[in-house]
Chains A and B, each alone.
Chain A
Amino acid sequence: MSRAESPGRIAWRRLRQHQTALPALVIFGLIAAVCLAAPLVAPYAMDVIDLAAVKQAPSRLHWMGTDDLGRDVFSRLLFGGRISIVIGLLAAVAGTGLGAVVGAVAAFYGRAVDNVLMRITDVAYAIPSLPLLIILSAYSRAAIVSMVLIIGGLSWMATARVVRAEVLTIREMPFVEAARVLGAGSGLTILRHVLPNALGSLIVGATLGVGNAIMIESSLSFLGLGVQPPTATWGNMLMDAQSTMAAKPWLTIFPGGAILLVILAVNFIGDGLRDALDPEKDPA
């Protein structure tokens, strides 16, 4: 062995060799790229109404058919995916970030701070999240930013508990003591020495959080409480499709299939990351 492999490299190599994570990463990357580039690649505009082409089944012109107003379902799916994926990514980052701060601060300062923060976490945990989300999103006449804040603001508790537990362990390690002896302040010690060591579980948590946030966003849209029409989201496309499900199944099948595929891919990536980042595992 010539030189030691960095932990990041080890994780990346393991991830590449993972049977399901790599294909999932490729699939998710492709879907995300195509959706984010929707204005460039979509064959039709999101809300162009074509009354000469209403309720058409999938064909060569309209790959996933058209809806009641003659709008191209495939194009709407791409534009909707852009919103769902952006909300999913940002909400996961917001939720994980908030959870990491709460957990790290609670564990690092201990005592009263810990007690107060963890009781707040308990309270947030005990209120059923979906009903609360329903109320909050009904207030906000959902724009993307408010959806991100609401979903992120109600999905930090698990991360906070995990990070707290990890930091409690890391805090006692010699290198943290060394940093303190050398005069590093609490903030610097947490950011520079403690959190990076809890990064593995944060990354896994954030990844799984993306799938969770997409699920929540589409559930709220489905109930009519997410980003509002005519802006397409996967959830509100399904809400619209519900009444005409029998005659036009393609309106139901494609948006739901997209949600399933993306969440599935994200979960497989998270699962692979968990294996790849596990330091207990043999580095080979």
Chain B
Amino acid sequence: MIPAPFDYHCPGTLDEAVALLSRYGDQAKVLSGGMSLLPTLKLRLGSYAHLVDINRIPGLEYVKEEKGWLRIGAGTRQATLERSEIIKSKYGILVDAVPLIADPLVRNRGTIGGNLANGDPANDWPAIAIALGAELAVRGPKGERAIAANRFYKSLFVTELKADEILVEVRVPVPPAKSGGAYRKLKRKTGDFAAAAVAVQLTLNAKGAVERAGIALTNAGPTPVEAVEAQKFLSGKAPDDKNILETAKLAAKASSPSADRRGSVEYKREMARVLAGRALHAALDRAGRS
């Protein structure tokens, strides 16, 4: 399969890339890892007159902790995240999740920025970013602005990102002591999208009650789903079995999956409940519950 013709641009700086996007507007698309975009073009599900390749712009690939934030450059490959010592040290949710994204060859090309900016609710990073309370930094003609991950997704494949903006950095607040996260995903095979998947990031207080709960679902509706009621319910409560059971139920209730070859609506919602329970328990174990 061959994509429809397009012009390829390979800017050397972010400013040049933004200028190209400003010039071509809706006719242009940013090419990052290309793991969703190129299949889309080949299958002719979408077409753009201009591709703006950001792969050769220096300074977009990094993972670092700075002033209370984990900062990840948008061009960072999934494979780099998988091998990052910083991530292995205290981001259990990412240790779980990144190896479950697509397959190893796709992770060698695919980037965190592309996964987030594409706006596909079946991608794993959006729910993870929401659970972690991440901010997404985007650059446009007027400079940079930060958008909370849970406000980034508007509808299917539609995000807060304007046609002339580029996602440049993902910022995750460094989890305080007594924090833990987990990601649980059900898929039929390597490379498949999730039938259901749940991202959880918890922080406990000195008494062992839940101080902060971030809970979000992948492929559970037209946008990534933040399980707001579940988060509210668990906050301030003791994370005992009964409360976890109820939280998982509320998380599943927030989902509105559609039936496809991965299962019926009922099945997917039930799997979301089961996975939420498992993710909550795993997160609590990592947070060092007493």
A and B interact physically: no
Residues on B lying within 8 angstroms of A by beta carbon are: none
Residues on A lying within 8 angstroms of B by beta carbon are: none
